[in-house]
Chains A and B, each alone.
Chain A
């Protein structure tokens, strides 16, 4: 019917009819060109501006989230640095309490040793023997000429002998004194050595303290950088957080495998306690499975509290704020419970082995085979018991990766959300650009349809003094990106203020 309308305008001339229709349409389109262009442009501009506003809002949200992540990251980093510094100070305190508490006694020892050495040294001082007083008189007598008198010669000879005896006695006395000095000096040696050892010990302690001080200095520097909210610190913490996330995630996966093994050890014997065909309400969840999971969950929770009471993790601030005695009490209570549960698990593991053996024996009986006891059956029994006993303690350490995972998950999820928002911004902008491009293409396609009258118009415009030159028709002005954004700048500013 429609096609007939197009071909039946001039009877018997369908092609001419279509030509007339098309010509008319082109004329109408040419006349309506400017308003149509404006409608298309207004439409695509409004859509694009709306999308740009959306993108701005999302960008703002992204920025806020980024700032929030930064705050969280820096706060976590600050807390971590505080904990590290606190720990270092605790170590220094321990060092000081352990080593330097004995410093007064050490000082006293040193003083005593020095005094003894001093006394010995004083005693070992060499005092030259004084010459006898009568030596000058003898010297004078010895200078008396003998004049050939035998009496004088005898006297002089006696004097000589007396002098020799006195000299010999003095020499012996001098040697004895020297020997005593040497003995005294020999006695000083252990004191010297002891003194040297004491000083070496002091030096080592001082060196240990110096090393600790250097570590504290380094950590304080990191802490200061975090407090100053340096970009470097943020990048460092972010990278560390990602690493922690993956490592703790891996550790938790391994812990889950451990929990599964534990579950397998406990689930079968639990059937003996709660029944093999008991289900939870009307669900298809077996009561024995739930009981086994409950035991494992309790063990994990005991481990959490144990680690918390020791101060390894800080998931529960209430426990951390308790005084040391109460925390110690919690530690011992949790450890006792953990031992009890480990014992229960070991016995359940043994029961599991017995049940498996019983089941195996029944199967052999039902198949008509001779029931035989396999050799070295005790090995898997003992193995299962050991596993049952040790796994609760292993699971207790899940608290450490769990804490890391929770802390790092917050950061990583924040980073992921920022990335998502960023991708949303990119997508919105892309869609806006595509819509604007479609609008421009539509305008060009429109002009392509009416290219004949447009060509005529252009050729008429080129003629000087043409009447058409004074036509009020103006080229369509398409605002560029900057102008478009300026249109909405006031609105964006308002949004930012909000």
Chain B
């Protein structure tokens, strides 16, 4: 019996060592990409495609990704271009990623500029989706100049509960008015940063699209 226990103990030790050595930290991510389709942004869709390709290459099976447009009324399901929680099986997840990429390309081909820019509505829709995914790490990637322009009857000036979501502004371009008075640009960024952080979220801005890995930092 002693020999059996010795051999089993040895085997168990080997298994434990290997388990500890091979295990990875547990995390599940969900990303919601908001794309501004107003004005000049509608002509920069290849940059969005680049970000989407990076996301599809980085996200793992079991994680979630969604793409939505920011238009005149963004707080709506119809603005979601594609959303997908990838299957736990890698082969299925790869097939889903291919399908997602096709949807993105299809959307890019038929994009039309919107009159207004309802960023807040888009963010509210993103928060709703991300909370449903039950992910540990939630990200909203905002592809916009962050200049909100809503209809007169739309109420968007209120605090938002981000619930720990990381908001990342990507490729925030400068407007003509920003060139006239650069303080406007900074004020706009600061206003969004304050709004996110006051809503229990984190704010980050990335203008260099070659350093997208900074999103996960």
A residues apposed to B, CB below 8 Å:
256, 259-260, 263, 267-268, 271-272, 275-279, 282-286, 289-290, 293, 297, 300-301, 304, 315-317, 354-355, 358-359, 362-363, 365-368, 402, 405-406
A196–B90 CA distance with the chains assembled, in angstroms: 76
Smallest CB separation, A285 vs chain B (Å): 4
**Chain B residues whose C-beta falls within 8 Å of the C-beta of A285 in the assembled complex:** 19, 23
**Chain B residues whose C-beta falls within 8 Å of the C-beta of A355 in the assembled complex:** 90-91
A359–B95 CA distance with the chains assembled, in angstroms: 10
B residues apposed to A, CB below 8 Å:
3-4, 6-7, 10-11, 14-15, 18-19, 22-26, 28, 53-54, 56-57, 60-63, 88-91, 93-94, 97-98, 101
Which residue of chain B lies nearest to A292 when distances are taken between CB atoms in the complex?
B22
7 closest cross-chain pairs (CB), A and B: A277-B62, A275-B88, A276-B61, A285-B23, A366-B53, A284-B26, A366-B57
**Chain A residues whose C-beta falls within 8 Å of the C-beta of B63 in the assembled complex:** 277
A359–B11 CA distance with the chains assembled, in angstroms: 34
B88 CB contact (under 8 Å) in A277, A283, A363, A406:
A277
**Chain A residues whose C-beta falls within 8 Å of the C-beta of B6 in the assembled complex:** 406
Complex contact A279–B26 (CB within 8 A): yes
Smallest CB separation, A249 vs chain B (Å): 12
Complex contact B14–A256 (CB within 8 A): yes
Complex contact B94–A402 (CB within 8 A): no
Which residue of chain B lies nearest to A279 when distances are taken between CB atoms in the complex?
B26
Q: List 6 A-B contacts (CB under 8 A).
A: A276-B89, A286-B24, A316-B4, A317-B3, A363-B57, A367-B53
Smallest CB separation, B82 vs chain A (Å): 15
A289–B21 CA distance with the chains assembled, in angstroms: 10
Smallest CB separation, A273 vs chain B (Å): 8
Complex contact B3–A277 (CB within 8 A): no
Complex contact B19–A362 (CB within 8 A): no
Smallest CB separation, B142 vs chain A (Å): 22
**Chain A residues whose C-beta falls within 8 Å of the C-beta of B54 in the assembled complex:** 366
Which residue of chain B lies nearest to A274 when distances are taken between CB atoms in the complex?
B88
Complex contact B14–A289 (CB within 8 A): no
**Chain B residues whose C-beta falls within 8 Å of the C-beta of A358 in the assembled complex:** 90-91, 94
**Chain A residues whose C-beta falls within 8 Å of the C-beta of B88 in the assembled complex:** 271, 275-278
Question: What's the dominant secondary structure at chain A's contact region?
Answer: helix
Complex contact B11–A300 (CB within 8 A): yes
Complex contact B101–A293 (CB within 8 A): no
Complex contact B18–A402 (CB within 8 A): no
Which residue of chain B lies nearest to A267 when distances are taken between CB atoms in the complex?
B22
A10–B22 CA distance with the chains assembled, in angstroms: 82
Question: With A272-B89, A278-B88, A355-B90 given, is the CB distance from A315 to B3 under 8 Å?
Answer: yes
**Chain B residues whose C-beta falls within 8 Å of the C-beta of A259 in the assembled complex:** 14, 18
Complex contact A275–B89 (CB within 8 A): yes
Which residue of chain B lies nearest to A363 when distances are taken between CB atoms in the complex?
B57
Question: With A276-B60, A277-B63, A402-B10 given, is the CB distance from A283 to B89 under 8 Å?
Answer: no
Complex contact A284–B23 (CB within 8 A): yes
With most chain A CB atoms within 10 A of its CB, the pick from B7, B19, B62, B101 is B7
Complex contact A362–B3 (CB within 8 A): no
Complex contact A297–B15 (CB within 8 A): yes
Complex contact B7–A304 (CB within 8 A): yes
Complex contact A277–B28 (CB within 8 A): yes
Complex contact A276–B19 (CB within 8 A): no
**Chain B residues whose C-beta falls within 8 Å of the C-beta of A405 in the assembled complex:** 10
Which residue of chain A lies nearest to B49 when distances are taken between CB atoms in the complex?
A368
A397–B40 CA distance with the chains assembled, in angstroms: 69
A349–B145 CA distance with the chains assembled, in angstroms: 49
Which residue of chain A lies nearest to B7 when distances are taken between CB atoms in the complex?
A315
Which residue of chain B lies nearest to A351 when distances are taken between CB atoms in the complex?
B91
With most chain A CB atoms within 10 A of its CB, the pick from B60, B88, B89, B98 is B88
Which residue of chain A lies nearest to B28 when distances are taken between CB atoms in the complex?
A277
